[in-house]
């Protein structure tokens, strides 16, 4: 039978509830109180649940996957008495868990852009006996100065940058957790501030959240190939010539195998991060997804990643064990093979070796010896592997 105890036990078996305060919070706060219209078997499964969609069917708010919530709350390292700010209230479930952890001496403020969602969340929190949570209807990009400074700030939405306003409202010894965009992906990062104004994260996990909306949002990262259900996500989406790519994909694909077969886990948690950091400058790295399982545009289905260049494109399914499909010249295939050789030579660095640093823009572009730099609104994002010289 689907219930809260079964969900919590599953999270505990997965090693996500080793902190007693966190386990007690998950046991004390039933998720169904925040999703009253959702069937219990769905509520108490480990999946994200959409709670509001836009006119075009795009999900604009959801109740996050419980295992990802547990992971991010582990990153946040809450203690009793903490003053916490959450960006993106959603259903209110995450705010309730945090209020239980920080206790009567702590404070939780959560900001929601959507007035209707803020009102519903306030009602859900009251039903759960969590009236101490302060729900604010407003633009989370601005933070919430009246209750600053905060020991912890957490964003429950995907962000393009950690905004200056959040950093100003964070205590010097505070911690800020946010899903930050990195090329075609989001990384749940736990940033700690330094005295020189930089923020560094040593613990990062791939994730997927709805994006921050409001006055300061996220640039367009997705392109659609014509009227097909094939979508490409990339921080360099503006470089993708969809008409030229459509013409290229209209030819038959060549089917090959990478010289080293890769499992889903090897692909997702090791090779892809390495390839993102080592994509040649004349190529675009992208994540692809066919958003209609009944259609196979250009012979492509499911999801995976792509390497695109003028006159060449390769698509590698995540579950293909190293199968690769390339169109046009073999340049994209050979570039992927070169990256694979480099990955092996680098002893297959894993995602847990990935490090992030945010450097304030006013400090100018930093000099680096490894990794890549990504310009953002207020910062330059530096991403590298720990075993490399920085």
Catalytic machinery residues: 64
What letter would DSSP give residue 252?
Answer: P
* Tokens linked to 2: 């689907």
Please tell me the distance from the alpha carbon of residue 243 to that of residue 284, in angstroms, as a whole number. Answer: 16
Q: Left if phi > 0, otherwise alpha if psi is -120 to 50, otherwise beta: which for 321?
A: left
Please tell me the distance from the alpha carbon of residue 221 to that of residue 106, in angstroms, as a whole number. Answer: 38
| Cβ partners under 8 Å of residue 247, min gap 6 | none
Dihedral over Cα of 158, 358, 215, 276: its sign = negative
SS (H, E, C) 69-115: HHHHHHHHCCCCCCEEEEECCCCCHHHHHHHHHHCCCCEEEEEECCH
CA distances to 75, 145, 168, 211, 236 from 163, rounded to whole Å, are 19, 14, 9, 14, 21
Name which of 105, 97, 152 is nearest 130 in CA terms: 97
Q: What is the CA radius of gyration of the chain?
A: 22
Please tell me the distance from the alpha carbon of residue 67 to that of residue 283, in angstroms, as a whole number. Answer: 35
Please tell me the distance from the alpha carbon of residue 94 to that of residue 157, in angstroms, as a whole number. Answer: 12
List of E strands, the chain: 49-53, 59-63, 83-87, 107-112, 134-137, 150-155, 170-182, 185-193, 199-207, 222-224, 230-233, 254-257, 284-290, 303-309, 312-317, 323-328, 354-360, 372-375, 379-385
Q: DSSP letters along 4-34, please?
A: HHHHHHHHHHTT---SHHHHHHHHHS-GGGG
């Amino acid at each position: 039978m689907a219930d809260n105890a079964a969900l919590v036990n599953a999270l505990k078996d997965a090693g996500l509830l080793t902190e007693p305060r966190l386990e007690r919070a998950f046991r004390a706060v039933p998720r169904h109180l925040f999703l009253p219209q959702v069937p219990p078997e769905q509520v108490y499964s480990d999946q994200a649940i959409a709670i509001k969609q836009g006119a075009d069917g795009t999900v604009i708010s959801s109740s996050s996957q419980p295992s990802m919530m547990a992971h991010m709350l582990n990153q946040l390292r809450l203690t009793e008495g903490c003053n916490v700010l959450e960006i993106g209230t959603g259903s209110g479930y995450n705010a309730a868990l945090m209020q239980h952890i920080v206790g009567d001496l702590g404070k939780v403020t959560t900001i929601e852009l959507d007035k209707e969602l803020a009102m519903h969340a306030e009602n859900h929190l009251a039903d759960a006996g969590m009236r101490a949570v302060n729900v604010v209807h407003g633009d989370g990009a601005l933070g919430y100065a009246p209750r600053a400074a905060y020991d912890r700030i957490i964003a429950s939405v995907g962000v393009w940058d950690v905004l200056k306003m959040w950093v100003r409202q964070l205590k010097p010894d505070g911690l800020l957790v946010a899903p930050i965009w990195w090329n075609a992906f989001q990384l749940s990062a736990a940033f700690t501030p330094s005295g020189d104004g930089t923020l560094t994260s040593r613990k990062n996990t791939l994730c997927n959240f709805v994006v921050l909306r409001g006055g300061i949002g996220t640039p367009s990262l997705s392109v659609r190939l014509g009227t097909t259900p094939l979508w490409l996500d990339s921080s360099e989406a503006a470089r993708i010539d969809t008409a030229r790519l459509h013409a290229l994909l209209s030819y038959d694909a060549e089917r090959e195998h990478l010289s080293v077969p890769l499992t889903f886990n090897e692909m997702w948690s090791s090779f892809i991060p390495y390839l993102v950091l080592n994509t040649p400058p004349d190529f675009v790295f992208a994540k692809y997804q066919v958003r209609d399982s009944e259609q196979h545009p250009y012979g492509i289905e499911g999801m995976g990643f792509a390497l695109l260049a003028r006159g060449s494109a390769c698509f590698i399914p995540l579950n293909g064990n190293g199968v690769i499909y390339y169109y046009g010249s073999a340049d994209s295939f050979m570039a992927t093979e070169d990256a694979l050789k480099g990955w092996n030579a680098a002893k297959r660095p894993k995602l847990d070796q990935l490090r992030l640093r945010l450097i304030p823009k006013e400090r100018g572009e930093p000099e680096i010896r490894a990794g890549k730099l990504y310009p953002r609104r207020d910062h330059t994002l530096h991403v590298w592997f720990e075993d490399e010289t920085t």
